[in-house]
Structure 1
Amino acid sequence: MLIAGAGIGGLTAALALHAAGIEATVVEAVRELRPLGLGVNLLPHAVGELTALGLGDDLARIGVATTRNVYCDQAGNTLFTEERGLAGGYRWPQYSVHRGRLQSLLLAAVRDRLGPHAVRTGARLLDFEQDTDAVRVRVPGAEFEAEALVGADGLHSAVRARLHPDQGPLLWAGVRMWRGAAEAGPFLDGRSMVIARGDRNAELIAYPLGPSLVNWVAMVSVAEPGPLPGDASWNQPGRAEEVLEHFGGWTLGGLDVSDLITGSPAILEYPMVDRDPLPAWGRGRVTLLGDAAHPMYPVGANGASQTVVDARVLADELARDIPRGLRAYENKRREATAAVVAANREMQRSWHARSPEELARVTTTYRRATRADHQH
């Protein structure tokens, strides 16, 4: 089995396939895998999957177990709260974790269990071809042959582009996003995520990644939803002054947002995007996984978690039969992930138009809808 992409999805898929008795090799475009990125949330259904892979204690070590989400206004006045993880009656915790530390944990587990050469870096996928028996994948200086190819190569997937060359541009929510992390003292109970809305369709999310590190995401609606302009840039350096124009003076549960923004060593800016669900992810012995298959708005913090569930379902189905298992995997996951894409769009569209009571009701409905088919 060959997996393109050594992100959260690709590495989790390699571990899940190995646990199911299927060996895998991961090819990754970058030459050196370093612990980059900022915060990511793992919802209980994803934590359950990773715990089943023997990583529960490691997640507890590197993550912060979120006990509640606190929804408030820009002055820190609470609109409503939502218990999360074990405190919310789930079977597993919810963790906030540094994406780089999570990727490093998964990478170490893959190399330990599958061997030191299971992940080949500097191996950007150039092309692939297939017949009824195998897939042949070409990377710089080498060619691999495998029973199947899984494109887990992210939002700008090379595998997806070859499967769906007429997919069109990414779809933009009309929202500018900034992300950063800064040293800050504990706020609220030290295990809460704050989700705040302000004037002019501004929203800010903050949560701890450790005893003194706080991750934040700031979002502002600036245009109507539509195709992403061709000149849009990704992960470009953001300026604190621009963020402060919208969020200066906010105080959330004892957290001074201005200090948080100005204290961030690096700020990244990028657009909020997704894609319309595909009628089929793959073809023959090739399929997609994670953001390559179903990019979604970060509303609900469900993207990484859905990717982890993809990996488990893929392994379950391929353990039964590889050619038919690929389509069975897609049939199970396409409908479920399309529902999350639609729910995220609706949450994003109506967030500022709803009363606190409506927000509480819609949030509860969202959680139920996006976790129901992941309990097993």
Structure 2
Amino acid sequence: MVKIVIAGAGIGGLAAALSLHRAGFRDITIYERVRELKPLGVGINLLPHAVRELTELGLADEVAAIGVPPSRLSYYNRFGQPIWSEPRGLDAGYRWPQLSVHRGEFQLLLAREVERRLGSDAIRLGCRLVSVEHLDPASPEARAAGHAEFARFVREGAGGGAEEVEVAADVVIGADGIHSAMRAQACPDEGGPVWNGLILWRGTATVPTYLDGRTMIMAGDGEQKFVSYPLVAPGADAGATRLNFIAERRAPEGVDETADWNHAVDPGPIEQLFADWSFDWLDVPAVIAAADEILEYPMVDRNALPQWTFGGSTLIGDAAHAMYPNGSNGASQAIIDGRTLAFHLANETAGRDVSTDVARANAVRTALEAYEADRRPATARLLEMTRQLGPEKVMQLAYDRAPQGFAHVNDVIPADELQEVADGYKRAAGFHPSALNERASLTPESAPEVED
């Protein structure tokens, strides 16, 4: 039996565990550094290619119950003038919806499902990954242990003490985020995440319903931008909408990447930055003022790596390819990582004799190489596109060509150019409607039936 260890119980690690279980693997343990999983964060979008994978994992109804399917995505300039609008999800011809969900609620949903399917002890909390050792599968040490990978964790005790825990496995998956210890071990000179000078303020607020109550909007350009989308579908109180928002602006001179990020801030100064962004259909300053809490973040990513896989260990999610949120694709790509990894691992081990340590290690390493060949070039291209604003490029084009606004967007940007920006990003990200609808499933043929 293949023994799998996952470092990190974020969306990527949990989705990988469920994907591996769906593919037929049973010896899977997740080690997470925090001592308690809490519903932290704000809103994220699960694009149709991710919702397809969640559907094939048997989670469609559960995720839909905590999400809102946006009807449209619409881009505007900083004066509220329309640039580009397109239907999303089922309305755009996909076989699966797009869903806006609260990140923390979605993470806890996945965690509950992991414990239900894999067992109550499948997630070990309070365990921080320190290092991973990759042995030659034929070495005496590997033969004695029966495994070639050794993950070392520091486990924090309830009383504040700590001890080192070493776990032997056939596969170690680094799903430990943008500050990944496994990545740092492989790339010790990389340094911290790369900041592009933009500051994000994220929050949630209940405000009067705008447009149709299900439209995701982006307004502004590369220097200043506002994004919002509903987190709760319009119901009995159709006059109010619970939404997630992101306000973004380039940092003033003198602020650098060592600033004290990721903390709650006063909405007043941010509201003033957007004081004249009151559109006929949305009062941006009022949304900011109505926030329950606003958290401040730098917009950071990581440079693409030349290699993710080392021995029987590999990276997924932000540990592998942290990217800017342009295009709303981070969580979706992490889910697809997990599904792709499970697919290749099952294909290389199903129906083959992996009873010996060396045969099992060779199959694992072949599978990880195939996973990396599928995902690393694709995410590297996507990372580069996010640095060029991704599909949000249409807002920058409008600003560059008509900084004071326009009578009609097609006076400054031809319709076919707008269409190509949207389609080009979908193709790169793997969710162009025709390609996604026709793509073969990532559930291996050898996978057992979904368990109730």
**Which interval holds the TM-score relative to the shorter structure?**
over 0.9
Q: Would you say 1:271 and 2:298 are equivalent positions?
A: yes
Distance apart, 1:202 and its partner CA: 1.0
Q: Would you say 1:214 and 2:243 are equivalent positions?
A: yes
CA distance in 1, matches of 2:23, 2:380: 26
CA distance in 2, matches of 1:309, 1:12: 9
Listed one character per residue, the Cα deviations across residues 238-282 of structure 1 (whole Å, up to 9, x for unaligned) are 221231232124235633222211111211111111122111012
Match of 2:19 among 13, 16, 20: 16
Distance apart, 1:25 and its partner CA: 0.5
CA distance in 2, matches of 1:223, 1:135: 46
CA distance in 2, matches of 1:150, 1:252: 47
Distance apart, 1:134 and its partner CA: 2.1
Native 8 Å contact 2:378 2:428 kept in 1? no
Could you say which residue in structure 2 is the equivalent of 1:339? 381
Listed one character per residue, the Cα deviations across residues 287-339 of structure 1 (whole Å, up to 9, x for unaligned) are 10000000111000011111110010000111123221111111110011011
Q: Relative to 1, partners in 2 of residues 1:191 and 1:114: Cα closer, same or farther, differing over 3 Å? A: same
Of stretches 234-243 and 15-24 in structure 1, the one that deviates more from structure 2 is 234-243
Q: Relative to 1, partners in 2 of residues 1:336 and 1:253: Cα closer, same or farther, differing over 3 Å? A: farther
Could you say which residue in structure 2 is the equivalent of 1:354? 397
Highest Rg: 1 or 2?
2
Distance apart, 1:137 and its partner CA: 1.8
Of stretches 271-280 and 351-360 in structure 1, the one that deviates more from structure 2 is 351-360
Could you say which residue in structure 2 is the equivalent of 1:366? 425
CA distance in 1, matches of 2:387, 2:257: 22
Native 8 Å contact 1:74 1:251 kept in 2? no
Q: Which amino acid aligns with 1:7?
A: G
Native 8 Å contact 2:5 2:30 kept in 1? yes
Distance apart, 1:76 and its partner CA: 2.9
Of stretches 307-316 and 130-139 in structure 1, the one that deviates more from structure 2 is 130-139
Structural mapping, 1:320-339, within 5 Å? 320=348, 321-339=363-381
Native 8 Å contact 2:5 2:29 kept in 1? yes
Native 8 Å contact 2:83 2:394 kept in 1? no
Aligned residues: 372
Native 8 Å contact 2:84 2:394 kept in 1? no
Distance apart, 1:169 and its partner CA: 3.1
Q: Which amino acid aligns with 1:255?
A: L
CA distance in 2, matches of 1:157, 1:294: 11
Native 8 Å contact 1:299 1:344 kept in 2? yes
Secondary structure of 2:377 counterpart: helix
CA distance in 2, matches of 1:255, 1:340: 31
Q: Which amino acid aligns with 1:363?
A: A
Q: Relative to 1, partners in 2 of residues 1:79 and 1:351: Cα closer, same or farther, differing over 3 Å? A: closer
Q: Relative to 1, partners in 2 of residues 1:97 and 1:350: Cα closer, same or farther, differing over 3 Å? A: closer
Q: Which amino acid aligns with 1:21?
A: G
Distance apart, 1:143 and its partner CA: 2.4
Which consecutive aligned stretches of 4+ in structure 1 deviate over 6 angstroms post-superposition? none
Give the unaligned 5+ runs of structure 2.
138-146, 156-162, 234-240, 349-362, 399-408, 441-452
Native 8 Å contact 2:83 2:395 kept in 1? no
Native 8 Å contact 2:13 2:175 kept in 1? yes
CA distance in 2, matches of 1:364, 1:351: 12
CA distance in 2, matches of 1:156, 1:95: 27
Secondary structure of 2:208 counterpart: coil
Could you say which residue in structure 1 is the equivalent of 2:148? 134
TM-score by length of 2: 0.78
Q: Relative to 1, partners in 2 of residues 1:279 and 1:270: Cα closer, same or farther, differing over 3 Å? A: same
**How much identity, in percent, do the aligned residues show?**
45
Of stretches 291-300 and 242-251 in structure 1, the one that deviates more from structure 2 is 242-251
Distance apart, 1:39 and its partner CA: 0.2
Match of 1:309 among 336, 346, 359: 336
Distance apart, 1:186 and its partner CA: 2.3
TM-score by length of 1: 0.93
Of stretches 123-132 and 110-119 in structure 1, the one that deviates more from structure 2 is 123-132
Q: Would you say 1:255 and 2:298 are equivalent positions?
A: no
Q: Would you say 1:73 and 2:87 are equivalent positions?
A: no
Secondary structure of 2:128 counterpart: coil
